[in-house]
Amino acid sequence: MNRSESVIVIGSGVAGMATAIRLKQAGFDVLVIESNSYPGGKLSSVQLGDYRFDAGPSLFTLPNLVDELFQLCNKKRAEYFNYERLDILCNYFFDDGKAVTAHSDINRFADELATQCGEPKLNTLNYLKESKRVYDITEPVFLKRSLHKIDTYFQSATLKAIPQLPSLHMFETMASYNKRFFKSTYATQLFNRYATYNGSDPYRAPATLNLIPHLEYHLGAYLPVGGMISITQSLYQLATDIGVRFAFDERVLSIRIASQSVKGVYTTKGSYTADIIVSNMDIYPTYHKLMPEQSKPSRILNQPRSGSALIFYWGINAAFSSLDVHNIFFSADYEKEFGSMSRNNTICDDPTVYVNITSKKCKGDAPKGKENWFVLINTPPNTGQDWDQLIQKTRMNVLNKLSRLLKRAIEPLIEVESILDPRSIELKTSSYQGALYGSSSNNRMAAFFRHKNFSSDIRGLYFCGGSVHPGGGIPLCLMGAAITASLIEQEHIL
């Protein structure tokens, strides 16, 4: 099938590439324009001497959403992209020295929580069962369809879900639900952590988000062969193989609009005409920078942003047998930590520290006997804090905490170092305030406060990516790409 319309996708983030692949496969002529010299946006890679690091995302769930793109193009996924399911989801270190291993086998994990923390096994198993129930109701309605098209509300999945909405724990916070559910404070803190999977605060986010552990414990956590960067590399390869064109080092400066229809874009290198434009750029700068003259949905655009992050990439001249791919070193007072972020807009002195080590599985990521540590601390979004001072203070606090809990001085082991902070995340990806996941999910109505995947005012203008429906994180970006592409197909059939 050959469609006459041409599509420009602004940005080669994971959602931009997935949308481009779907549209090309549907017969459109597709050009992706990317301001960076490389594809992937947040899903990119950093090389420091002999150490390789994934720059942003480290946790990969729902790999079937990537597989689907290869199937759609009749390509053998394994020729492009491979991944393994992790047996250990995460090693947890509590501040008092207690350690818990989260096995992917839920019976083993429930036994571990019972032995280490005194949490009754049945509590853990029932919690995960409920997590699955909430996910199964939510997914077909809130994640797989546009919430802004009337036909969504007449689908059988929606009609089935509506009577069940009161049972999705929307009127309670994650933290209060978990505190009520679990006997042990260790289990409560461990499950509160899942709020951070979309940059939210467990003390404010609705308990509906307790659906997140279902993804890891039932559907699995995975690591791509070659690291997370393989997702970007394989999608880029697939896209180019099927004929999607890419223009790198070229920034879109404005969207050309006439008679309330898109006409093309102006870029740093010239101008292009197009019948359809999909912006994978964050929705806030899409309105404010690319079409400042157009009226703006201010209430939606001004929603608070999700959390951001401070990341230290450290090449470590040692190997730690107590660590695995994913490791968490919890703060002593989780509520205080999130209070510092949401009320005081800062990082507390005892932050929770996440250490991701891909070299545990991807041997080429660090020299033999050494490890590539991606050390992440959750932060508020960038609203002009004194980041240089915060980074200096936090680096010290993190080093002290890791050295104490691992019983070994860490600073002398650091061979190479680089730092990413909310300012540089914004600079590298145009993500408003450096938010990792677009607008915040702390509000129980957050799903309805995200921008839709299309413009109602401008014909031919669509949106995809973490700042629009259904939200951020690789899986949601991929689901969103499917929604956006299918709206375009429906609305532009020749």
Residues in contact with ligand FAD by the rule CB under 6 A:
10-16, 33-36, 41-43, 56-59, 251-252, 280-281, 309, 311, 425, 429-431, 436-437, 465-466, 472-474, 477
Report the residue number, 333 or 417, with the smaller CB distance to ligand FAD.
417
**Smallest separation, CB 149 to ligand FAD (Å):** 21
What would the DSSP string read from start to end of 356-381?
Answer: E-GGGT-GGGS-TT-EEEEEEEEE--
In degrees, rounded to 5, the angle at the alpha carbon of residue 291 between the alpha carbons of residues 287 and 293 is 105
Show the tokens assigned to 369: 């006997």
Nearer of residues 10 and 23 to ligand FAD, judged by Cβ: 10
What is the token pair recorded at 389? 């001072």
Q: How far is the CB of 211 from ligand FAD (least distance, A)?
A: 15
To ligand FAD, the closest distance from the beta carbon of 373 in angstroms equals 14
Q: Which helix (H) or strand (E) holds 401?
A: helix 387-406
CB of 185 to ligand FAD, least distance (A): 25
Q: Which is nearer to ligand FAD, 196 or 331 (CB)?
A: 196
Residue 472 CB, nearest approach to ligand FAD (Å) = 4
Query: In the complex with ligand FAD, which residue's Cβ is closer, 69 or 161?
Result: 69
115-to-100, 112, 160, 187, 327 alpha-carbon distances in Å: 10, 5, 40, 12, 20
Residue 253 CB, shortest distance to ligand FAD, in Å, is: 7
Tokens of 447: 């799903």
Give 208 or 279: the residue with its C-beta nearer to ligand FAD.
279
Cβ nearer to ligand FAD, comparing 113 with 420: 420
CA distance from start to end of the chain: 10
SS (H, E, C) 283-329: HHHHHHHHCCCCCCCHHHHCCCECCEEEEEEEEECCCCCCCCCEEEE
Pairing verdict, β 371-379 and 414-420: unpaired
Residue 309 and residue 300 in contact, taking contact as beta carbons nearer than 8 Å: no
Q: Taking Cα atoms as reference points, which of 444, 463, 443 lies closest to residue 454? A: 463
Tell me how far, at minimum, the Cβ of 361 lies from ligand FAD, in Å.
Answer: 15
Q: Is 270 helix (H, G, I), strand (E, B) or coil?
A: strand
Q: Toward ligand FAD, which CB reaches closer, 126 or 268? A: 268
Adjacent-strand bridge partners of 273: 264
Residue nearer to ligand FAD on the CB measure, 117 or 488: 488
Tokens at 95, concatenated: 């501040």
Task: Tell me whether residue 58 or residue 200 sits nearer to ligand FAD (CB atom).
Answer: 58
Residues in the chain: 494
CA torsion through residues 458, 461, 463, 467, sign: negative
User: What three-state secondary structure class fits 420?
Assistant: strand
CA distances from 449 to 81, 257, 302, 433, 446 (A): 35, 25, 10, 18, 5
User: Shortest gap between Cβ of 246 and ligand FAD (angstroms)?
Assistant: 11
Closest CB to ligand FAD among 179 and 256?
Answer: 256
Which lies closer to ligand FAD via its Cβ, residue 110 or residue 325?
Answer: 325
CA dist 92 and 101 (Å) reads 6
Counting beta carbons within 10 angstroms of the beta carbon of residue 414, is it exposed (0 to 12), middle (13 to 18) or buried (19 or more)? middle
Minimum CB separation of residue 431 from ligand FAD in Å reads 5
> How far apart (Å, rounded) are the C-alpha atoms in residues 356 and 58?
7
Q: Quote the least distance from Cβ 244 to ligand FAD, whole Å.
A: 15
CB of 425 to ligand FAD, least distance (A): 5
